[in-house]
Structure 1
């Protein structure tokens, strides 16, 4: 009789333990049991053999007849056959008489509760503070309503599959306590499957033994109509991933699992539920889905990735944050929060801030800080660290940057993977790398991919830095410009290089950033990141001295003016400008920095802050303002006086009138982004005069004397065009407004991804004006929602207020779209309450 896969052999193993007076066995006990067997039988069953039998060591073979005969004699029987006969006599009919649905439920509940507790204890965020996710209910509702036997949750490592499933099982167990629910859940993780394999048992026999049955009595025969209550039996296996096993082990477990599925698929009460990484599903679904009609794969948004577990929504992030710290104030922009929609990153963030958790700690640097910590712990300090680094560099070398192909053909890199096999398996297990098999009948195709974009970009940066001898220099910036000319990877890779530079005392090389060929959006992203990074490093005790020395140096023109532009105006930009003030700046540079901060305060309608920065500007000598074509202090003060008191400072506007009738340049006619900022702010201030002709004369004069630096022409002209469109709108020149709109719209169609949030907000305002002119009221609702989104996330309240006043003055909208009118009035009133502005003053300005 074959010993392995037998229910009786499991009984014999238990009998050996009882005879040895052991309730359970550990590896060290195997030596003791071996001695006891020899003392009683005078036959040797080695310690190693016992370790294989009890699952502490892997064995390709079943125990020999000699071994099980000796074990039987040790237990007091004449041999294996005698043991089997006596056990069968004892158990005739007893099992089927005593085991029913309730017994099955109790046995399964014990196992499930143990698995649940183990997985809850492993939760990165305390399970009690985690949240239930709606997607899993939607998934199970569809699964149970259809004629399905099995379903699977697939996603990369760290998507929260296990925690979501634990919440669902918790609910099922609570429901099982009620009289109207008889569902049974048997839940275990892949580590249990490993122990089955190591013990040499068959999965189906193991399940039957676990639930109190013998192999001769299958579940179907026992759970007949008389004994089985109405309910489903859920077999749930968490983490059924190939990286947990060796190749031959996983294949064997896969085939055994499919045998279980095939055996019970005709029973509508049997439900198989798996969780696995999406790469594992892609690689093995051809084996799993032998009958497509019986498998439910959920709601997959991308067939190529096969992910059916969504990332956190912004609402879920807020709900989770409030549950972790109900007293915390959690406000963060959608743009930054998007980095934390990955539950894995949210978990890292929690661990770093669990003592005082709040989303307010999040900034543009946070995600990079968290990933750095993960890589330090899992790559640099884990097993085979050196081999991992060498493998990652070699993989990057095999990428096709020119065609933006970052996935690697496994056949082409197979020698590398063999050379660093242990490192490769480690990187697979932590989700840093993944294998995707998309072979078809005519072609083999398996690709090696990075687990996510952040890991890829970090690895690319590491390779480039290694090639440049770990130096952030002109050679490195040139390589990045060349390799990523039209790629979204450019800025993320550059950020990792900047992090490396600042952590290694190479801050002085930052002026090389001016050599980077970036569009406005990329530049804005980098600037906000630099502000957060420098602030973070300044507050770090480990970098205080080096950072202090860094800021003591004079800030070069190329680095300083790299930070400036009206297009960057938003809440995050404020931190960047404040960081610039740490440098040893000339008075002229301090003036333009405070002017930028004042412009942000104005856009946020924070008049107290605006007054503060104007006071700062007033501390500079009058002579320091002579180098500006238009005095920025007078410009900001005129805006402040109007919005605070409703006063129009006529002397300032006379200064602008004098300028556009007799435009002049500053010394040598030099142009800089500082001039761009001052001219554009002055043009915006002319709106207060409610004389559109003045704006047109001003923009015409500016075009004569000021030409932006190369690379800034498009952005600068964008703002001038917006000013001209506003003037023509108020003059009723519909054709001219349409002409300018078409010009910008065409640019947006081709280069919309280069528009910063401020540019998009202003362009939405132009869309609204054009819609009002042509009576297209249906589109205004969409445009307005976008304006409010920018207002909420980036603090552009001034733009929103002007647009609201413009729309609310249109009586046709109130009649034709009363709901839209009410919504805009509500949003408008909310901003007024938040800022404490006087509406009567605004009514004099907005048209």
Structure 2
């Protein structure tokens, strides 16, 4: 009885009884199941001997073997059982199906091992189409071997398991009549022997006669029926990790490749991590023949030594739909990009399992995923201390990131001597990579962290250690001043924010909020902070006490008056912070600022929803001179075509010089919320002089520092637009020059895309006033498209007004009427009275007085 038959019997018995991993207590169950099925007695001890739980002192009897064969025998296994009963290996071509069945049994065993070791449920994994395309080309080509090469965690084993099932094992598979042998490397390679004859070992594994060698046999079969043997070896990293780089493993593969001599009958597929492949390639790089017989794949990248691409966006969507009910299209773009790396999927799945209700609008969860990855690969692994020392050395030798993420490998020679095993594991686990570059014609070997976020994490840790592990104002200033030019400041500040909130130490938050950053960096950091607060409070509600104790919300409201309030992320910020506030007045202020953002869309349903949230009689903002609910009611009246001039609330707001007196009563976020409410109402009510007076009064407050630079820049744009629309060309031209200077020489904080959108609108109106109709149309069309994209209907209507007036000035009445009709349809769809923007009058007056 050959070892193969015994292995196969074990596999078939476990399959029959439905046990994946057998233990001693299962042996009695198996013995009873066999006895019941075949009406023959098999003892528990015999089953224990079969599965290695008891010592075998003699060969199994013919009765025992026949009983076991009778239990497992079916239509798929009759050729296997016949061979076992006859007691002889397969010797001819009388039954090709027998060989397919034997190889299939071994391949299925390997697939089960892959399923068991998968870090997410196997049914959530996907088939990689690129692998099938590459394999199909390789199968029909003259190449004799290929390899799937990638860093750790790219899902090579899962990729191969799907490939084997889809192309070889499932009913009607394309290569179902070929012999596929999908094996884990430990099943094939014997590291204990001095040398190995791979061909002979494979021959024994398949149960072939030793009269003919395996290559001759399959060459003959290929000549007869055109069928092939496909060998697929996976799991090299496990035997290399346990036994080190054993040259004899690679030597046995190279010997077999040389013996194949271009045979079309046998195809070899290897699966290796990048570092192992790099070492294997050293064995063949001087052989022109072997290099010519290697199919590198469609996606091979020599620098990274990889040909397994990251997931495509479509593949991420498919995976995400299996893992989460949260729509992938709403997933943060940075997080979605990171999920293209296969090994991140398992960490994301684990976090979703722990916190299923969390939705991730930023890439915050990626920081949690990174910590899990580092915990697994470094902190909780073998040689953890040595690995950390090496990572620290890499950061220090890079001059703390100022020289980039690559260092000369020779600088680590002393560490290699002491920490060789730790270094090898960092390479095998895909944390570090070696690259060969040329400098002055000489090759040099560089080492770097493969993924930038790992580099940024250790850079943060080292920078913090240089400041005595204290997140002081000096620590944050050092990050901003030292790393803004190489775009590392924001990632480092995010790590600081992440750990500050995670550890419940909110003092550093004040220092972070006081930093002078650019517009984009400020908004990104604030959004990250908001989600981290929200995430932390869901998991540790007691963290609310820290927010209140450190007056975080008051600091946030101060910051909100300084950032870009037209940026779409601003609305997300407000909504998140309002959700985590326990103070009703603070929550109401956040919500009133959301009202500002939504009011520009002129959507009646949204306005009504906001109005219902505010009760002027009992609401915490009841003492505001311009109450949000009153503002909303007046705005709705305007949208419905009603006259608000006699409304008592409007009369109170519209008193002469009341704007300045009104704003003097307030400061910060409430001040600019009320002022914007008034500006929008006055503009839509056609009262441009009041808009101008109100903004000029706001300018006086800039001197006291109560209004932010962003706020002032936006007010300047609105003021320029008001002057341009009112016909005051002298003031409009003066403001246009100021705005051009701002956009050509950005202030700090820098101008935002939203400010540039306003600049487009100002220029469109100015070019119309000056008679430069070509440029007026150019900027007008650009403004319409931008505000359409941003759902800012109020400003979109002003841009349409410019376009229609310009077409009328150029006597293009048809075009003017076309846009008038477009606008009227849009206003009708939104249920907005067309008289609000006077589009009917614009065209009618021009037709009457052409």
Q: TM-score, normalised by structure 1?
A: 0.71
Is residue 688 from structure 1 mapped to residue 687 from structure 2 by the alignment?
A: no
SS of alignment partner, residue 223 of structure 1: helix
The one of 111, 122, 125 aligned to 1:116: 111
**Partners in 1 of 2:124 and 2:726 — Cα distance?**
55
**Partners in 2 of 1:732 and 1:294 — Cα distance?**
78
Q: How does 1:105-504 map to 2 (within 5 A)?
A: 105-140=100-135, 143=138, 147-174=142-169, 177=172, 182-192=177-187, 195=190, 200-213=195-208, 214=210, 217-224=213-220, 228-241=224-237, 244-245=240-241, 249-264=245-260, 266-278=262-274, 280-281=276-277, 285=281, 287-288=283-284, 290-291=287-288, 293-300=292-299, 304-324=303-323, 331-354=330-353, 360=359, 363-401=362-400, 403-438=402-437, 442-504=441-503
SS of alignment partner, residue 370 of structure 2: helix
1:300–1:308 contact (8 Å) kept in structure 2 = yes
* C-alpha deviation, 1:171, in angstroms: 0.8
* C-alpha deviation, 1:310, in angstroms: 3.4
* C-alpha deviation, 1:119, in angstroms: 0.8
Query: In the alignment, which residue of structure 2 is the partner of 1:86?
Result: none
2:180–2:229 contact (8 Å) kept in structure 1 = yes
**Partners in 1 of 2:124 and 2:795 — Cα distance?**
37
1:595–1:632 contact (8 Å) kept in structure 2 = no
SS of alignment partner, residue 245 of structure 2: helix
**Partners in 1 of 2:427 and 2:836 — Cα distance?**
62
2:148–2:156 contact (8 Å) kept in structure 1 = yes
Query: Is the alpha carbon distance of 1:737 and 1:716 closer, same or farther for their aligned partners in structure 2, counting shifts above 3 Å?
Result: closer
Query: Is the alpha carbon distance of 1:341 and 1:274 closer, same or farther for their aligned partners in structure 2, counting shifts above 3 Å?
Result: same
SS of alignment partner, residue 485 of structure 2: coil
Q: Which one is further off, 283-292 or 381-390? A: 283-292
2:222–2:265 contact (8 Å) kept in structure 1 = no
SS of alignment partner, residue 163 of structure 2: helix
SS of alignment partner, residue 249 of structure 1: coil
**Partners in 2 of 1:170 and 1:353 — Cα distance?**
29
What's the CA shift string for 1:255-292, capped at 9, x where partnerless? 33233334436234543333334455566656556555
Query: In the alignment, which residue of structure 2 is the partner of 1:838?
Result: 831
Query: Is the alpha carbon distance of 1:409 and 1:763 closer, same or farther for their aligned partners in structure 2, counting shifts above 3 Å?
Result: farther
* C-alpha deviation, 1:381, in angstroms: 2.8
**Partners in 2 of 1:721 and 1:248 — Cα distance?**
67
Query: In the alignment, which residue of structure 1 is the partner of 2:532?
Result: 533
2:588–2:621 contact (8 Å) kept in structure 1 = no
**Partners in 1 of 2:224 and 2:794 — Cα distance?**
67
Query: Is the alpha carbon distance of 1:121 and 1:148 closer, same or farther for their aligned partners in structure 2, counting shifts above 3 Å?
Result: same
Query: Is the alpha carbon distance of 1:638 and 1:337 closer, same or farther for their aligned partners in structure 2, counting shifts above 3 Å?
Result: farther
Query: In the alignment, which residue of structure 2 is the partner of 1:572?
Result: 572
SS of alignment partner, residue 442 of structure 2: coil
**Partners in 1 of 2:151 and 2:336 — Cα distance?**
20
SS of alignment partner, residue 268 of structure 2: strand
Q: How does 1:609-624 map to 2 (within 5 A)?
A: 609-615=609-615, 619-620=619-620
What's the CA shift string for 1:408-462, capped at 9, x where partnerless? 3221123234333344344334333333344689534333322412222222222
Query: Is the alpha carbon distance of 1:666 and 1:660 closer, same or farther for their aligned partners in structure 2, counting shifts above 3 Å?
Result: closer
Is residue 637 from structure 1 mapped to residue 632 from structure 2 by the alignment?
A: yes
5+ residue gaps, structure 2, are 8-45, 59-86, 843-850
**Partners in 1 of 2:141 and 2:725 — Cα distance?**
58
SS of alignment partner, residue 436 of structure 1: strand
**Partners in 1 of 2:522 and 2:376 — Cα distance?**
31
Query: Is the alpha carbon distance of 1:266 and 1:330 closer, same or farther for their aligned partners in structure 2, counting shifts above 3 Å?
Result: same
Query: In the alignment, which residue of structure 2 is the partner of 1:581?
Result: 581
SS of alignment partner, residue 186 of structure 1: strand
Number of equivalenced pairs: 748
* C-alpha deviation, 1:844, in angstroms: 4.5
* C-alpha deviation, 1:513, in angstroms: 0.8
SS of alignment partner, residue 548 of structure 1: helix
Over the aligned positions, Cα root-mean-square deviation in angstroms equals 5.5
1:189–1:237 contact (8 Å) kept in structure 2 = yes
5+ residue gaps, structure 1, are 1-8, 15-20, 37-89, 626-630
Query: In the alignment, which residue of structure 1 is the partner of 2:523?
Result: 524
**Partners in 1 of 2:279 and 2:691 — Cα distance?**
64
Query: In the alignment, which residue of structure 2 is the partner of 1:51?
Result: none
Query: Is the alpha carbon distance of 1:298 and 1:679 closer, same or farther for their aligned partners in structure 2, counting shifts above 3 Å?
Result: farther
Query: Is the alpha carbon distance of 1:123 and 1:621 closer, same or farther for their aligned partners in structure 2, counting shifts above 3 Å?
Result: closer
The one of 596, 612, 616 aligned to 2:593: 596
* C-alpha deviation, 1:302, in angstroms: 6.5
2:395–2:459 contact (8 Å) kept in structure 1 = yes
**Partners in 2 of 1:134 and 1:333 — Cα distance?**
25
2:616–2:629 contact (8 Å) kept in structure 1 = no
Query: In the alignment, which residue of structure 1 is the partner of 2:509?
Result: 510
**Partners in 2 of 1:783 and 1:196 — Cα distance?**
70
Query: Is the alpha carbon distance of 1:238 and 1:679 closer, same or farther for their aligned partners in structure 2, counting shifts above 3 Å?
Result: farther
* C-alpha deviation, 1:512, in angstroms: 0.7
**Partners in 2 of 1:529 and 1:709 — Cα distance?**
27
Q: TM-score, normalised by structure 2?
A: 0.71
SS of alignment partner, residue 382 of structure 1: coil
Query: Is the alpha carbon distance of 1:359 and 1:558 closer, same or farther for their aligned partners in structure 2, counting shifts above 3 Å?
Result: closer
Query: Is the alpha carbon distance of 1:449 and 1:362 closer, same or farther for their aligned partners in structure 2, counting shifts above 3 Å?
Result: same
Query: In the alignment, which residue of structure 2 is the partner of 1:43?
Result: none
What's the CA shift string for 1:560-604, capped at 9, x where partnerless? 422443044435313443156346x9x6x6664332232344467
* C-alpha deviation, 1:781, in angstroms: 11
SS of alignment partner, residue 232 of structure 2: strand
**Partners in 2 of 1:530 and 1:248 — Cα distance?**
45
* C-alpha deviation, 1:368, in angstroms: 1.6
Query: Is the alpha carbon distance of 1:370 and 1:621 closer, same or farther for their aligned partners in structure 2, counting shifts above 3 Å?
Result: closer
Q: Which one is further off, 836-845 or 345-354? A: 836-845
2:400–2:463 contact (8 Å) kept in structure 1 = no
Q: Which one is further off, 836-845 or 265-274? A: 836-845
* C-alpha deviation, 1:524, in angstroms: 1.1
Query: Is the alpha carbon distance of 1:261 and 1:226 closer, same or farther for their aligned partners in structure 2, counting shifts above 3 Å?
Result: closer
**Partners in 2 of 1:438 and 1:148 — Cα distance?**
29
Query: Is the alpha carbon distance of 1:183 and 1:194 closer, same or farther for their aligned partners in structure 2, counting shifts above 3 Å?
Result: closer
What's the CA shift string for 1:190-226, capped at 9, x where partnerless? 4445545668523343333333444962414543267
**Partners in 2 of 1:649 and 1:371 — Cα distance?**
56
**Partners in 1 of 2:239 and 2:680 — Cα distance?**
60
Report which structure shows greater RCO (CA 8 Å, sep ≥6).
Answer: 1
SS of alignment partner, residue 97 of structure 1: coil
Query: Is the alpha carbon distance of 1:241 and 1:659 closer, same or farther for their aligned partners in structure 2, counting shifts above 3 Å?
Result: farther
Q: Which one is further off, 147-156 or 108-117? A: 147-156
Query: Is the alpha carbon distance of 1:309 and 1:719 closer, same or farther for their aligned partners in structure 2, counting shifts above 3 Å?
Result: farther
SS of alignment partner, residue 350 of structure 1: helix
1:365–1:532 contact (8 Å) kept in structure 2 = yes
**Partners in 1 of 2:297 and 2:725 — Cα distance?**
51
What's the CA shift string for 1:61-92, capped at 9, x where partnerless? xxxxxxxxxxxxxxxxxxxxxxxxxxxxx99x
